[in-house]
Amino acid sequence: DPYAGDPLRHPALKVNSQRPFNAETPPELLTESYITPNPLFFTRNHLPVPHLDPDTYRLHIVGPPGCESLSLSLDDLYQFPKHEVTVTVQCAGNRRAEMTKVKKVKGLEWTTGAISTARWTGARLCDVLAQAGHRLSESEAHVCFVGLDSDPTGTAYGASIPLAHALDPEAEVLLAYEMNGQPLPRDHGFPVRVVVPGVVGARHVKWLGKVSVEPEESYSHWQRRDYKGFSPSVDWDTVDFDSAPSIQELPIQSAITEPQDGETIEAGEVTVKGYAWSGGGRAVIRVDVSLDGGLTWQVAELDGEKQRPRKAWAWRLWQLQAPVPAGQKELNIVCKAVDDSYNVQPDTVAPIWNLRGVLSTAWHRVHVRVTP
- Neighbour order of strands in the sheet with 316-323: 253-258, 269-277, 316-323, 301-303
Paired sense of beta strands 264-266 and 43-44, if any: unpaired
Q: How far apart are CA 364 and CA 255, in angstroms?
A: 5
Contacts of 242 (CB under 8 A, 6+ apart): 224
Residue 207 binding target from ligand MTE, Mo ion, none, CB below 5 to 8 Å by type: ligand MTE
147 binds, among Mo ion, ligand MTE, none (CB under 5 to 8 A by kind): ligand MTE
CA–chain centroid gap for 18, Å, is 20
Q: Which stretch binds Mo ion (CB under 5 A): 45-53, 90-98, 260-268, 332-340?
A: 90-98
91 binds Mo ion per the rule CB under 5 A = yes
The 160-199 contact track toward Mo ion, x by CB under 5 A, reads ----------------------------------------
Chain residues that interact with ligand MTE, rule: CB under 6 A: 41-47, 89, 91, 147, 149, 157, 188, 201-202, 204-207
- Hey, what amino acid is at 309? P
Complex with Mo ion: residue 93 or 304, whichever CB lies closer: 93
Q: Which amino acid is at 108?
A: L
- Residue 197 interacts, among ligand MTE, Mo ion, none and using kind-specific CB cut-offs from 5 to 8 Å, with none
Q: How far is the CB of 34 from ligand MTE (least distance, A)?
A: 17
d(CA 92, CA 357): 8
Q: CB of 265 within 8 A of CB of 371?
A: yes
Q: How far is the CB of 90 from Mo ion (least distance, A)?
A: 8
What, of ligand MTE, Mo ion, none, does residue 270 touch, CB below 5 to 8 Å by kind? none
Closer by beta carbon to Mo ion, 198 or else 201: 201
In the bound state with ligand MTE, the residue whose beta carbon lies nearer, of 83 and 206, is 206
Burial 166-205 (b: 16+ CB within 10 A, else e): bbeeebbbbbbbbbbeeebbbbbbbbbbbbbbbbbbbbbb
What span, in angstroms and rounded, lies between the C-alpha atoms of 299 and 313? Answer: 22
Beta bridge partners of 83: 122
DSSP letter, residue 155: P
CB of 362 to Mo ion, least distance (A): 19
Binding residues for Mo ion restricted to 26-55, rule: CB under 5 A = 44
Best CA proximity match to 93, nearest among 143, 147, 36, 43: 43
Minimum separation from the CB atom of position 231 to ligand MTE (A):
23
Q: Closest distance between Mo ion and the C-beta of residue 44, in Å?
A: 5
Interface residue with Mo ion, options 27, 197, 201, 274 (CB under 5 A): 201
Q: Which does 217 bind (CB under 5 to 8 A by kind): Mo ion, ligand MTE, none?
A: none
Interface residue list for Mo ion (CB under 5 A): 44, 91, 201-202
